[in-house]
Amino acid sequence: MEVVAITARTLAVCGAALLVALVLGLPLGIFLGRRRFGGSRAMVALVNSGMGAPPVVVGLGVALLLWRSGPLGALGLMYSPKAMVLAQIVIALPLVVGITLAAAGALDDDWELQVQTLGIPRRWRWWLLVREIRLGLLAAVIAALGGILSEVGAVMMVGGNLEGETRVLTTSILMYTQMGDFEAAMGLAVVLLGLTLLLAGLLTALQQGGRT
């Protein structure tokens, strides 16, 4: 039962973080990929830097924000699932934005002009754009999910690996390894690996099916 609870908590935290990252990151990535304005290059550079940010540094930054003496300390979120979700959003968001803007930017520069020439209403243009870059969007989802599902440093720092509250698969594996209980660690590692392969496989199948 403990494995089921830990797995369910892992999916809940990662799912919430991924959803928020997609809601925020997909529109921003499309905008940055299709528009040029003052400061756009700096924003793209910032996104690219964020894609390579060490998760443990992200965890430290979120912890400093949520600590009692930090700017958001009054919210009391430290060592809670919400803090873990926040840390994973910070990790996933640059991946979503970066891959999305690359996919959107790969379209022809005159794509909007072509759509306007065809007389397609403005309300449908975003839908057509999303359809054009759907393979890139699915790649963004796969990358973001993989990045947060396997992450351990940031969630350990802000979640604390509290039994029944913030303990997830990655932190459990680390804990049992440090305790020398390699059998339990290997069992949870198999669960995490299987979960990762299953989700990545489903998303990959959806991505490859989109080529037809």
Give the torsion through C-alpha atoms of 97, 138, 81, 150, to 10 deg: -100
Helix 134-149 / helix 2-34 crossing angle, nearest 10 deg: 140
Q: How many residues does the chain have?
A: 212
Token code pair at residue 137: 């969007």
Domain CATH number, residue 118: 1.10.3720.10
Residue 110: burial class (beta carbons within 10 Å; 0-12, 13-18, 19+): exposed
Token code pair at residue 68: 């009692």
Per-residue pLDDT of the chain (212 residues; tens, 9 = 90+): 788 999 999 999 999 999 999 999 999 998 888 777 777 788 889 998 888 888 889 999 999 999 988 899 889 899 999 999 999 999 999 999 999 999 888 777 676 666 666 666 666 777 777 788 888 888 899 999 988 988 888 999 999 899 889 999 999 999 999 999 999 999 999 999 999 889 888 888 876 765 55
Q: What is the pLDDT of residues 78-114, one digit of tens each?
A: 999 999 999 999 999 999 999 999 988 877 767 666 6
What is the chain's percent helix, strand, coil content, to nearest 5?
80, 0, 20
Domain count, the chain: 1
Structural domain that includes position 158: 2-209
